[in-house]
Amino acid sequence: MLALLVVHLVAALAAPALIGKMGRRGFYVLALAPASAAVWALAWGPRVADGTVPTEELTWIGDLGLDLAFRLDTLSWFMTVIVGGVGALVLAYCASYFSKDAQGLGRFGAVFVAFAGAMLGLVTADDLIALFVFWELTTVTSYLLIGHYSDRKTSRRAAMEAIVVTTAGGLAMLVGLVLLGVEAGTWRLSELIANPPEASTLVVTAVVLVLVGALTKSALIPFHFWLPAAMAAPTPVSAYLHAAAMVKAGVYLVARFAPAFSDLAAWRWVVLVAGAGTLLLGGYRALRQHDLKLVLAFGTVSQLGLLILLVGYGTRATALAGLAMLGAHAMFKASLFLVVGVVDAATGTRDLRRLSGVGRELPWTAAAGALAVASMIGLPPLAGYVAKEAALASLMHAEDSTGTLVLVVVGIGSVLTVAYGLRFWWGAFSTKPAVLAPEAITTNDGAATATPITAAVPGVEPATVRHPSGLLTVPAGLLALLGLVLALWPATGDRILGPHAATYPVGAPGHLTLWDGFLGAAITAAILGLGATLFAVRDRVERAQAAVAHTVSVDRAYRRGMRRLDDVATDVTAAVQRGSLPVYLGLILTVFIVAVGSLLLTSTTLPTQVRAYDNLAQVALGAAVVIATVLVARSRRRLKGAILLGVVGYAVAGLFLLQGAPDLALTQVLVETITVFVLVLVMRRLSPYFSVRPLAASRWLRLAIAVGVGLVVGGVALVAPAARVAEPVSTGFAEAAYEGGGGKNIVNVTLVDIRAWDTVGEISVLLVAATGVASLVFVSRRTGRIFRTKDAAADRAVWGGADDPHASLRGPLHDENAGAATARNQEWLRAVRTLAPRRRSVVFEVVARLLFHTMIVYSLYLMFSGHNSPGGGFAAGLVTGIALVVRYLAGGRYELGEAAPVQPGTVLGAGLFVAAGTGVAAMFFGASVFTSAILEVTLPVLGHVKLVTSLFFDVGVYLVVVGLMLDILRTLGAELDRRAESGEDPQFEQVGAAR
């Protein structure tokens, strides 16, 4: 069975290419997949009938006890033959049904075969979850098939309706299956059925949920409406999915569970009410349809009701009748749909009010249709007759009143079936005295009219009949003929289907026979007679139905429900998703205040003792932070805000130092310097003032939230130290750092060794941020070009800005003829000549020249000594960054290019590579990732050198930080300068006036 599934999968995957190459003839090749399933099952036939049950299993998710288990008992065997056989015939039909240049045939073939495979898996699966998975696969593939004409609104709507209804049922079924599996302690379907769990409320609920799945799939009331709508699918799909295969999945499920659960009262009620109701409603609605496919669709709904009623009724005899009916229905209904396809292809319409004389033109098709209709209405000696006889006989022998009631319902349903069956054949093939004109059946805007055919006047030409390929009639004819041939040997059916019926717990075994005594014959005759009468008065029936207004329409209710759902979704979205960042943040922070605040108030205790301060320096720095913070929050000028922020940062650095964290203090001072610099870089492009918020009222709200959050966070800070109850993780860090990491600076060793993984993550974040900055500025490129002095135009005046009133004063005093060759040596920095004269500062140039190399050396010192004293890769990278900033500020962007003629991306990548490489390298020496090694050597000049491999990791960190700094300088510095000078960037506009 697994092999067959693989065959289907391969065929589905190959289908687009196959049909692309062979055209529609590729369908013949595809038909081999389902045909192989049918042939394989037929080969097993005799053995399965003798009680052999082939099984296969493949462990799927072992830990969860889920297996892909398959089992071919009588019922599965029967379904496999139907699914495979009808599938192969319908695919062969497709080869001559679709026109050569029809759209999307490759995809259609692929999905169709995939569906056949899913169906095969569904009927043979022996694992509850596997069953569900295949069940949903059929739902999804049927969605794609119904929506085949995805450019048509009707198709899309029908597909959506089908998937919403069947998936809802499928999910209910999943819950039911899981409950049953847990309650029974097994996920094997066969074991569950053999030893069903004791009836309890839970089990009853689970069984009803499973039934809901079956009802949605088989289109029983109140879920029946999706099936007629699904007639928007191509006709072969209707023939296979909506007659033979998919809708039978629900029947299969009921037949599968009935032996174990049909004695539950809930089961009986659901099956009887839904089955009987659907049987009658479908038959009734079929009587007034004008579209041949809709006649069949409502007929199918009706027959599905009958099938569920029979296989779910619970006695052996009715079960046997139900299985026989299942087979008969697959044959005649698939055949009838295929016949409709032929008529549609031949005449271009399916409206019976436009068809006349088709039977004379297409006699073979009409004959196939007649044979199938005969089977459907139960004429002897056809399969439908045998099945219906068995059903009536089994119900006649029932002792209780329910049996009699069901008998009456089945009788009435059969009368309706006879009536719509005759109406179908009459509508499709008869020669009518008069037909309606095309204008009479559809209005100008495409809506169908309800004009009855009795309104027709002679003289209107019926639809012209063309002659499709004779091959088109073959599958329909074969299926119809099969209904006749098989019925001639009813005993064979008995032998094949009997074993499953025998698994039902109650009732005498039934029999399939062509003659069941005079009483049965009398009832059949009465049904046929009444049905024929009902057909004879079809006009009156149609008019009566039209007169009774459609009071309850589940279809309309469904659409209205979807509309309400959409409304609710829109309202909720509009209410919750305001699209305003301050509102979102405000909400989040309010929740934070309420949640954490209430926790603080209720479940924490204030510390018994507090220290007001550690020393006076702390108080002074704290006061500086507080004042500067308030000023930042109140500032209206951007620059003022940035500078005050620097004050906050430096003061915090001081607090770090007092707290015993020199590394933090160092890093903070460096970062704060750079932050202020970057803020200024960007803010010079923006308007000098923050915009004025028009809503002053919201300011008080913001203030309230801010104070609230501040209080809560302060409260947390107050209780957090004492809330630590466990031994700190870092207790052993000192020893680990010195012994294992080979360094005295525990913070640094923590970063590059003990928690190196974290650091790798953090420098990755830096890399992403740097790349993000570059992308936002360069937009379509990763980076810009490096500005080198030799590329600069002679008259380049970086940072020139507005006219320089003192230009004449800035020129050289004398020596106008000094050559360019000597000029280079006269400058302290290489690129200062690219600056506008007024932007130059000789003092700054000298300082930059003197400081740069010193700073680079200092940064290297920080990196190498970081292992034992404050410093490390982060601080070193920042110092290098500041050195570059100094060069940039002194000499402009060309000076930056001279100082660091590399692309930032290269530096970032190299850094991450070195850092990660250090970790990986350890693995080559058999250690785990990021294990450090300590090498101690004595060198001639340097003396005793202790080298720890994590130094290389620190080099990586250093490079990443330098890369980030370079990216910032190259984008927010150099590139913004270039744009300002070239006029690419527009000048700022004042958004809101300054106060």
Partner 1 sequence: MMDTTPNLTLVVVIAVLTAGGVYLLLERSLSRIVLGIILLGNAVNLMILVAGGAAGSPPIVGLSDRPMSDPLAQAMILTAIVITLGLTAFLLAMSYRSWQLNRHDEVQDDVEDRRIARLAAQDHPSVSGADTDENMDLDSEAAETHDETDEGTEGRKEVRP
Residues 741-770 that bind partner 1 (CB under 8 A): 744-747, 750-751, 755, 758-759, 762, 765-766, 769-770
Q: Is 57 helix (H, G, I), strand (E, B) or coil?
A: strand
Size of the site for partner 1 (CB under 8 A): 190
Binding-site member from 156, 495, 838, 978 for partner 1 (CB under 8 A): 156
Stretch that binds partner 1, among 63-71, 261-269, 357-365, 781-789 (CB under 8 A): 357-365
Residue 738 interacts with partner 1 (CB under 8 A)? Answer: yes
Q: Is 55 helix (H, G, I), strand (E, B) or coil?
A: strand
Residue 292 has which token pair? 């041949």
Site residues (CB under 8 A) for partner 1, limited to 321-350: 341, 344-346, 348, 350
Site residues (CB under 8 A) for partner 1, limited to 605-624: 607, 609-614, 618-619, 622
Side-chain-facing half-sphere of 800: CA atoms under 13 Å? 14
Binding-site member from 648, 885, 955, 962 for partner 1 (CB under 8 A): 648
Q: Are 70 and 125 in contact (CB under 8 A)?
A: yes
Site residues (CB under 8 A) for partner 1, limited to 467-496: 467-474, 477
Binding-site member from 51, 62, 446, 819 for partner 1 (CB under 8 A): 446
Cβ contacts of residue 823 below 8 Å, gap of 6+?
A: 833
Closer to partner 1 by CB, 673 or 789: give it.
673
Stretch that binds partner 1, among 201-209, 637-645, 849-857, 893-901 (CB under 8 A): 637-645
Site residues (CB under 8 A) for partner 1, limited to 157-196: 157-158, 160-161
The binding track of 960-989 with respect to partner 1, each residue x by CB under 8 A or -, is -x--x--xx--xx---x--------xx-xx
Residue 655 interacts with partner 1 (CB under 8 A)? Answer: yes
Site residues (CB under 8 A) for partner 1, limited to 668-707: 668, 671, 674-675, 678-679, 681-683, 685-687, 690-691, 693, 702-703, 705-707
Distance CA 149, CA 517 (A): 51
Burial of 718 (0-12, 13-18, 19+ CB in 10 A): middle
Side-chain-facing half-sphere of 701: CA atoms under 13 Å? 11
Closer to partner 1 by CB, 186 or 759: give it.
759
Side-chain-facing half-sphere of 760: CA atoms under 13 Å? 19
Side-chain-facing half-sphere of 184: CA atoms under 13 Å? 25
Is the Cα torsion angle 713, 717, 718, 723 positive or negative in sign? positive
Strand-pair partners of 947: 935
The distance of closest approach from Cβ of residue 828 to partner 1 in the complex, given in angstroms and rounded to an integer, is: 29
Residue 995 interacts with partner 1 (CB under 8 A)? Answer: no
Binding-site member from 168, 370, 643, 713 for partner 1 (CB under 8 A): 713
The distance of closest approach from Cβ of residue 651 to partner 1 in the complex, given in angstroms and rounded to an integer, is: 9
Distance CA 620, CA 170 (A): 69
Closer to partner 1 by CB, 517 or 772: give it.
772
Residue 150 interacts with partner 1 (CB under 8 A)? Answer: no
Distance CA 745, CA 737 (A): 8
Closer to partner 1 by CB, 156 or 397: give it.
156
Site residues (CB under 8 A) for partner 1, limited to 826-885: 868-870, 874, 878
Residue 667 interacts with partner 1 (CB under 8 A)? Answer: yes
The distance of closest approach from Cβ of residue 987 to partner 1 in the complex, given in angstroms and rounded to an integer, is: 9
Side-chain-facing half-sphere of 980: CA atoms under 13 Å? 21
Q: Which phi-psi region, left, alpha or beta, contains residue 872 (left: φ > 0; alpha: ψ -120 to 50)? A: left
How long is the chain? 995
Q: For 125, which DSSP code? A: B
Site residues (CB under 8 A) for partner 1, limited to 412-441: 441
Site residues (CB under 8 A) for partner 1, limited to 778-807: 779
Site residues (CB under 8 A) for partner 1, limited to 83-102: 96-102
483: enclosing H helix or E strand: helix 473-488
The distance of closest approach from Cβ of residue 170 to partner 1 in the complex, given in angstroms and rounded to an integer, is: 19
**Side chain identity, residue 414:** S
Residue with tokens 């709904």: 301
The distance of closest approach from Cβ of residue 51 to partner 1 in the complex, given in angstroms and rounded to an integer, is: 40
Binding-site member from 460, 532, 709, 792 for partner 1 (CB under 8 A): 709
The distance of closest approach from Cβ of residue 892 to partner 1 in the complex, given in angstroms and rounded to an integer, is: 19
The distance of closest approach from Cβ of residue 89 to partner 1 in the complex, given in angstroms and rounded to an integer, is: 13
Stretch that binds partner 1, among 9-17, 126-134, 186-194, 577-585 (CB under 8 A): 577-585
Is the Cα torsion angle 41, 47, 48, 54 positive or negative in sign? negative
Closer to partner 1 by CB, 162 or 249: give it.
162
Report the b/e string of 385-422 with b at 16+ CB within 10 A: bbbbbbbbbbbbebeeeebeebbebbbbbbbbbbbbbb
Q: Angle 133-322-87 (CA atoms, 0-180°, nearest 5)?
A: 50
DSSP 226-291: HHHHGGGS-HHHHHIIIIISHHHHHHHHHHHHHHHHTTSHHHHHHHHHHHHHHHHHHHHHHTT--B
Residue 499 interacts with partner 1 (CB under 8 A)? Answer: no
The distance of closest approach from Cβ of residue 715 to partner 1 in the complex, given in angstroms and rounded to an integer, is: 8
Strand-pair partners of 291: 351
Distance CA 100, CA 853 (A): 78
Closer to partner 1 by CB, 70 or 888: give it.
888
Distance CA 543, CA 22 (A): 50
Closer to partner 1 by CB, 138 or 668: give it.
668
Q: For 837, which DSSP code? A: G
Closer to partner 1 by CB, 382 or 648: give it.
648
Residue 601 interacts with partner 1 (CB under 8 A)? Answer: no
Closer to partner 1 by CB, 41 or 900: give it.
900
Residue with tokens 């048509």: 152
Site residues (CB under 8 A) for partner 1, limited to 11-30: none
The distance of closest approach from Cβ of residue 208 to partner 1 in the complex, given in angstroms and rounded to an integer, is: 28
